[in-house]
Structure 1
Amino acid sequence: MSGCDDAGPDNGPDAGGRRPVVGITTYVERARQGVWDVAAAYLQYDYVQLVTRAGGVPVLLPPPGPGAAPAGEVLARVDALVLAGGRDVDARYYGAEPHPTADPPATDRDQWELALTRAALDDGVPLLGICRGAQVLAVALGGTLVQHVPDLPGARAHKHGPGEFASHTVRTVPGSRVATALGAEAVVSCYHHQAVERLPDGLRATAHAEDGVVEGVEVDGEGFAVGVQWHPEQTLDDLRLVESLVQAAREQEER
């Protein structure tokens, strides 16, 4: 594991050179601060810490609204992309009706992240999808999702009660980017009730839970486009996966 509790602006990874800029997607939600109740770009601060400790410079990428710069223009200003966790992707984007347990859709975020994902894949921008982000990656390429994992025969808990993460072991596929970063298996924190079902062409499963549920995916080829169902931001003492993303961004800049 990489322990980087003392990493700061002057002593973190790659302190002697330019740190890659990593865009992180967010919601737009109502937020209260003092007397104000306004729309705000919202992201758990753990994601910011995760990217910073791994050697990147975090920049938030909320849904920009109508008339804003296209996704490709936004991505031209960052070196890598993190699709953060969040609500279920609207099932209508992969031709299904929403399951009764599905979250209310966040249409603005769905549209923005699907556009960012496709642009990142087209432009070779290194990408890491976290939980929902892994599902966005699959849907962007034409895949489908299991809408309620507990409906699967033999499925174990992939989350506990509201706001309570589950912990389990995932096994990685040899030769995959996830295996290179984490080894043959890893204990991870997860909180999801949906998962990748049908893999689209060009996307392969690279990690599975003990019950067979897909926990990691990546796009074929030399680029870095990886999705994981677990939450690396919950274990800030293990930066290996996000360090791999940051390293991919450095290598992309050098080409």
Structure 2
Amino acid sequence: MKPVIGLSCYRNKAQWGVWDTEAVLLPTTYTRSVELAGGIPILLPPPQDPGDHADAVVARIDGLIITGGPDVDPARYGADRHPQTDQPGGVRDAWELALLDAADRISLPVLGICRGLQVLAVHAGGTLQQHLPDQLGHQLHSPGGADYGTVEVIVEPKSRVASLVGDRLQVSCHHHQAVAEHPGLQISARSADGAIEALEADGERFRLGVQWHPEERDDAGLFGGLIKAAAR
């Protein structure tokens, strides 16, 4: 049987047809990438009371993807909000952190993408650099609007990420924040300007995150690695 992969998603106001109302949203590039890798995608919208649902949801899936989205509330890692940081989205933050708690309890395979990498770091007790241009002096990682930046990523040769995507690659990215501290997680890739682009946990369990958007380039490696781990 194909493994079932749960993907966190938005709960936002949206328009389609004659409708203009709150909706559960996720770009189809995510679900298509899961399907192409051999999995069955299901969306996991944030409920009003996340703590009561996470264990039940995680018990019914074989793998978890924490997807891209808005900035994590800096209060989650003990920081004041930077002027460029998004307004807090408490329900989604709480839901994804609860999903990661539940996933840890049963050693569920986890892949974090963009915001998902940052949520993994915050869940581990880490912190974020809230506005990367302050540190790097450029906006190549997020050129503006809906445009993706293209950066070169250098991967640690013996890492799990390297086994899935190789030692060096061009990636699509759309982020103005980056991981700063990441206790318990190892850096497995950086961009040429030094920004952390991937983290992974030691051990046999598949638990890693990337700052780029593999779904935008039909990157079978990362999704394939998750599906293989979930199929076990």
TM-score, structure 2 normalization:
0.96
Counterpart of 2:158, as a letter, is G
CA distance in 2, matches of 1:132, 1:192: 8
Could you tell me whether the CA contact under 8 Å between 1:154 and 1:211 is conserved in 2? no
Distance in 2, Cα, partners of 1:216 & 1:90:
21
> Structure 1: how far apart are the matches of 2:192 and 2:170?
11
CA distance in 1, matches of 2:134, 2:51: 40
Tell me the C-alpha RMSD between the 2 structures: 1.4
From 196, 210, 213, the counterpart of 1:214: 196
CA distance in 1: counterparts of 2:207 and 2:178, whole angstroms: 17
Counterpart Cα distance in 1 of 2:126 and 2:224: 27
Which residue pairs with 1:4 in the alignment? none
Change (3 A) 1:76 1:32: same
SS in structure 2 of the partner of residue 98 of structure 1: coil
The residue identity in structure 1 corresponding to 2:175 is H
C-alpha spacing 1:22/1:102, structure 2 compared with 1 (3 Å): same
Note the C-alpha offset of 1:204: 1.1
Distance 1:30 1:167 in 2: 29
Quick one: distance in 1 between partners of 2:138 and 2:99? 32
- The aligned counterpart of 2:105 is 122
For 2:57, the equivalent position in structure 1 comes to 74
CA distance in 2, matches of 1:68, 1:241: 28
1:159 offset after TM fit, Å? 1.4
Q: Does 1:21 align with 2:23?
A: no
Matched, 1:112 2:95: yes
Counterpart of 2:149 in structure 1 is: 166
Structure 2 residue 216 is the aligned partner of structure 1 residue 234 = yes
Could you tell me how far apart the structure 1 residues matched to 2:34 and 2:114 are?
16
**What's the counterpart of residue 207 of structure 2?**
225
- Separation in structure 1 between the aligned mates of residue 181 and residue 16 of structure 2, nearest angstrom: 43
Tell me what 1:12 maps to.
none
| Correspondences of 1:1-255 after superposition (within 5 Å) | 18-66=1-49, 69-153=52-136, 157-200=140-183, 202-236=184-218, 238-251=219-232
What SS does the corresponding residue of 1:139 show, helix, strand or coil?
helix
Contact 2:136 2:193 in 1 (8 A): no
Q: Partners of 1:55 and 1:34 in 2: how far apart?
A: 32
After TM superposition, the structure 1 stretch with the greater mean CA deviation from structure 2, 69-78 or 148-157, is 148-157
- Listed one character per residue, the Cα deviations across residues 188-219 of structure 1 (whole Å, up to 9, x for unaligned) are 1001010100121x111110000111000011
Give the distance between the partners of 2:131 and 2:32, measured in 1 at CA: 30
Structure 1, unaligned stretches of length 5 or more? 1-17
Counting matched residue pairs gives 232
CA contact (8 A) 2:50 2:95 kept: no
CA distance in 2, matches of 1:68, 1:195: 27
Alpha-carbon displacement from aligned partner over 1:158-199 (angstroms, at most 9, x marks no partner): 111211111111111122111100111111100101010012
Secondary structure of 1:55's counterpart equals coil
Q: Which segments of 5 or more consecutive residues in structure 2 lack a partner in the other structure?
A: none
